Amino acid sequence: MSLKLPIAETRGPAVPGRAWQVGDALDLLAALIAVALIVLVARGWTGPPRVLLALGFAFFVPGRAIVTNWRQTADWSEVGMPMLFSLALLALVAMVALWAHYWHPLGLFQVEAGLSLAGLGIGMVRRHRRRRSGVDARQAETW
């Protein structure tokens, strides 16, 4: 007797255009939020735009950098998982910084923004490289 399980549908390179476009749009939105906030902080501007961008950054950008490089999590939710990862990661970094007696919010933000932008760039390059090379969906999921 053999057990035959249904093969789950994957969202790798085999999925036409739409999934790739959504991923690219979310990555570009996250990068735009990070860059805009970096510019506002560097210029010392305050007010509602900076607060809204800071909230957008805290709730979305670092998590999106993780999800774009870890495709299995994107199958659960393209927007929900980045929020979960962002809040968990930023809380962990803040907690460690407090314990290490290195509480410098601006420095932490600059490091987080730089690493997030690097992660977003790497994820976008990897996604497009897989798409061009024609790697099948199952193999792409393991990367």
One-letter amino acid at 58 equals: A
- What is the pLDDT averaged over residues 16-43? 88
Q: Is the full-model pTM beyond 0.85?
A: no
Q: How confident is the model at residue 134 (pLDDT cuts 50, 70, 90)?
A: low
Residue 37: the pLDDT is 96
Say which range, 1-10, 44-53, 90-99, has the weakest mean pLDDT: 1-10
Residue 54: the pLDDT is 96
Please compute Rg for the chain using Cα positions: 18
Burial 36-62 (b: 16+ CB within 10 A, else e): bbbebbeeeeeeeebeebeebbbbbbb
Residue 138: CB partners within 8 Å, gap ≥ 6?
A: 10, 12
